[in-house]
């Protein structure tokens, strides 16, 4: 599902780059820290840490080599291949462990959070954001609602259904059950303005992630029917949507 960095950037990376600085401002981590970004992908959050949090060191890890190849970030940043559930990082060595739009794709999020906790220093910040797929992520809500109308099987793939973790209370519970303190959850909403219908639709043809992965399985006729339904549903001209993420944070 996650292979090529460039199409991912056009699909969702560009919006994660808008979210990340807002998330980091909310965390308010002190300068000079050692940061770990888990599921860093093409480096949207990693780059924002380097640019805005004045870190001593930032490590971005992700299992997708194709994303790591495309990942760039200025400053004291290194990238490495790793799974969130088995981090190649020493115990109690990080001041902040963060993750953007990735935790719901990890098979065992509780195990990942246990790893975040293991590598975090006492009082370190552990934080993540995921899309509010069920409601506030409009780009994907329009997509899955139209897809399910044309193809009932698409409803099973809808991330709003598949990822129960991506709700305020589920995130709070995961963080609290991991024994973290000062747990807080915040909705973060950004504008996702598409120049025109092509700017909305073309990134769905890039094959990266569940929705483009679904489009890639469709025969031409079905793909065109989905495109036409979406075109009819979305505003003509500029498409001013919004995307909401749930952010969660706590301290070790």
Shortest reach from residue 40's CB to ligand SAM, in Å = 5
Instruction: Give the separation between CA 116 and CA 66, rounded to whole angstroms.
Output: 24
* Cβ 160 to ligand SAM shortest distance, Å: 15
Shortest Å distance, C-beta 36 to ligand SAM: 11
CB of 57 to ligand SAM, least distance (A): 18
Between 38 and 180, whose beta carbon lies closer to ligand SAM? 38
Percent of residues in the chain assigned helix, strand, coil, to nearest 5: 45, 25, 30
Q: Is 88 helix (H, G, I), strand (E, B) or coil?
A: coil
Among 131, 121, 129, 130, which Cα is nearest to 35's?
121
Pick the closer one to ligand SAM by CB: 13 or 203: 13
Shortest Cβ 183–ligand SAM spacing (Å): 21
Taking the least distance from each CB to ligand SAM, the nearer of 62 and 95 is 62
Q: Judge whether 99 and 128 are in contact, CB under 8 Å.
A: yes
Q: How many of the other CB atoms lie within 10 Å of CB of 227?
A: 18
Q: Which residue is nearest to ligand SAM (CB)?
A: 41
Give the residue with the Cβ less far from ligand SAM, 41 or 250: 41
Nearer to ligand SAM, 52 or 123 (CB): 52
Q: How far is the CB of 64 from ligand SAM (least distance, A)?
A: 4
- Residues 160, 80: Cα–Cα separation, whole Å: 30
Which of 122/210 has CB closer to ligand SAM?
Answer: 210
10 Å CB burial of residue 112 (0-12, 13-18, 19+) is buried
Q: Whose Cβ is closer to ligand SAM: residue 41's or residue 55's?
A: 41
Task: Tally the residues of the chain.
Answer: 252
- DSSP, collapsed to helix, strand or coil, labels residue 209 as coil
Contacts of residue 45, defined as CB under 8 A and 6 or more positions apart, other chains included, come to: 16, 20, 23, 37, 60, 98, 99, 100
Picking from 18, 68, 10, 12, the residue whose alpha carbon sits closest to that of residue 38 is 68
Residues that bind ligand SAM (CB under 6 A): 2, 12-13, 16, 38-41, 44-45, 62-64, 67, 83-85, 100-102, 105-106
Nearest distance from C-beta of residue 13 to ligand SAM, angstroms: 5
Tell me the β-bridge partners of 244: 189
């Amino acid at each position: 599902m996650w292979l090529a960095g460039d199409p991912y950037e056009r699909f969702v990376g560009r919006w994660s780059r808008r979210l990340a600085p807002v998330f980091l401002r909310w965390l308010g981590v002190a300068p000079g820290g050692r940061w770990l970004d888990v599921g860093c992908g093409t480096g949207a959050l990693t780059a924002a840490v380097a640019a805005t949090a004045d870190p001593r060191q930032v490590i971005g890890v992700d299992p997708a080599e194709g994303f790591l190849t495309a990942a760039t970030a200025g400053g004291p940043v290194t990238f490495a291949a790793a799974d969130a559930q088995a981090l190649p990082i020493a115990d109690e060595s990080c001041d902040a462990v963060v993750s953007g739009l990735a935790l719901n794709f990890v098979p065992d999020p509780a195990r990942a959070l246990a790893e975040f906790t293991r590598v975090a220093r006492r009082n370190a910040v552990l934080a993540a954001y995921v899309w509010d797929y069920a409601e506030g992520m409009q780009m994907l809500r329009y997509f899955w609602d139209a897809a399910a109308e044309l193809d009932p099987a698409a409803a099973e793939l809808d991330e709003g259904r598949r990822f129960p973790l991506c709700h305020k209370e589920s995130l709070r519970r995961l963080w609290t059950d991991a024994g973290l303190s000062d747990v807080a959850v915040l909705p973060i909403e950004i504008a996702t303005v598409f120049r025109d219908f092509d700017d909305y639709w073309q990134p769905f043809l890039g094959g990266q992630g569940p929705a483009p992965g679904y489009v890639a399985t469709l025969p031409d006729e079905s793909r065109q029917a989905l495109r036409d339904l979406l075109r009819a549903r979305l505003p003509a001209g500029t498409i001013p949507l919004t995307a909401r993420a749930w952010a969660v944070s706590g301290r070790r």
